[in-house]
């Protein structure tokens, strides 16, 4: 009799466990459907319009301290405001001098967590570039109007998500860094003047050049993406990139090194804005489509941008950041 009772209790527990798993799976599917719906709002025309504005001759190459850079700054600030992001520390602009000669200005907007959270994800991309040199305008369409374009698109989606009560799970701070071409001074200043403990940053995501298919990791795979720094993430966050990418919507060729070279991987990681966070022991990632023959040249114009691939990479990044926000 006791054996039958034991078996009955076990079956009851198994039924409850299966029910919990079923409910959890249903919840995950519903969550996936929600963020896929937002992801589907990413359009190539929106991306093209934003990038064209940032890389236009009116911005004159966006060199720090110039009127052209202010042209881009005002555009980003107004986008943050119109999307419904909150100002950071009461202001969308964070201003500070570089070597007492050039005024550097980060543009910052916040999407608060859907429910109370004291954790943060930083999503950044530098918007400054080289300006006009030798009479030539260095428009920096890929470097880094493409990264800022992706950042602004995701800021819009997360703000909409927040307004509709769908997330995110952590506070997301979007930062358009100035001064990357001035020793990464914008990101250095930002991380050194946080209004909350650095330990509250779950991860810092940096986007630096996202728009071309000119330097594929493997031949005949233009749908590539280079991601550096995943090993710095908490264990709970590691693997999220691969899980997101495993979807049939993506299936991109992702390289977690810089073309397999440890030396170049280290060099690349140290020369963009995520390194300002890494030096503070903050988990930090770089997403890039890498250098190409037009990098730091006047030929880095909108003509080299692959908007379909920029759309796909932006959608994947949106999914990854959403996953990070709920882990």
Domain ranges of the chain: 1-40, 43-326
Q: Which residues contact 32 (CB under 8 A, 6 or more apart)?
A: none
More confident position, 36 or 166: 166
> What are 63's two structure tokens?
């060199």
- Residue 237 backbone phi and psi in degrees, to 5: -95, -20
Q: Which residues contact 324 (CB under 8 A, 6 or more apart)?
A: 121, 170, 202, 203, 205, 237, 240
Q: How confident is the model at residue 13 (pLDDT cuts 50, 70, 90)?
A: low
Say yes or no to pLDDT of 17 above 90: no
> What are 321's two structure tokens?
């950041």
- What is the predicted pLDDT for the residue at 169? 96
- What is the predicted pLDDT for the residue at 34? 72
List pLDDT tens digits, range 86-126: 999 899 999 999 998 899 999 999 999 999 999 999 999 99
Cα angle value 258/200/75 (rounded, 5°): 70
Say yes or no to pLDDT of 6 above 60: no
List pLDDT tens digits, range 260-287: 999 999 999 999 999 999 999 999 999 9
- What is the predicted pLDDT for the residue at 30? 56
Q: Which CATH superfamily is domain 43-326 in?
A: Zn peptidases (3.40.630.10)
Say yes or no to pLDDT of 19 above 80: no
List pLDDT tens digits, range 50-82: 999 999 999 999 999 999 999 999 999 999 999
Whole-prediction pTM: 0.91
List pLDDT tens digits, range 20-45: 444 444 544 555 667 788 999 999 99
Average pLDDT value for residue range 239-248: 94
């Amino acid at each position: 009799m006791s054996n039958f009772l034991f078996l009955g209790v076990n079956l009851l527990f198994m039924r409850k466990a299966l029910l919990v798993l079923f409910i959890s799976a249903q919840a995950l599917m519903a969550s996936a459907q929600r963020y896929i719906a937002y992801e589907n709002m990413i359009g190539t025309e929106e991306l093209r319009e934003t990038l064209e504005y940032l890389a236009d001759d009116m911005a004159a190459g966006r060199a720090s301290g110039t009127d052209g850079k202010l042209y881009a700054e005002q555009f980003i600030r107004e986008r943050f405001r119109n999307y419904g992001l909150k100002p950071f520390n009461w202001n969308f602009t964070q201003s500070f001098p570089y070597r007492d000669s050039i005024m550097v200005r980060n543009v910052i907007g916040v999407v608060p967590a859907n429910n109370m959270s004291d954790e943060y994800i930083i999503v950044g991309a530098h918007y400054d570039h080289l300006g006009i040199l030798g009479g030539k305008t260095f428009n920096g369409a890929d470097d880094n109007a493409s990264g800022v374009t992706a950042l602004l698109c995701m800021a819009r989606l997360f703000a909409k998500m927040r307004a509709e009560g769908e997330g995110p799970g952590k506070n997301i701070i979007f930062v358009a860094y100035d001064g990357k071409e001035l020793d990464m001074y914008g990101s250095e200043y930002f991380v050194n003047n946080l209004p909350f403990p650095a330990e509250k940053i779950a991860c810092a995501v940096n986007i630096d050049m996202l728009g071309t298919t000119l330097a594929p990791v493997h031949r005949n795979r233009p749908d590539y993406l280079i991601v550096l720094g995943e090993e710095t993430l908490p264990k709970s966050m590691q693997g999220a990139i691969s899980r997101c990418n495993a979807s049939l919507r993506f299936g991109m060729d992702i390289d977690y090194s810089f073309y397999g070279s440890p030396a170049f991987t280290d060099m690349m990681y140290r020369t963009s804005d995520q390194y300002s966070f890494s030096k503070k022991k903050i988990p930090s990632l770089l997403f890039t489509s890498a250098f190409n023959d037009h990098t730091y040249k006047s030929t880095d114009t909108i003509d080299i941008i692959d908007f379909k691939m920029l759309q796909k990479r932006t959608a994947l990044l949106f999914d990854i950041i959403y996953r990070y926000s709920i882990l």
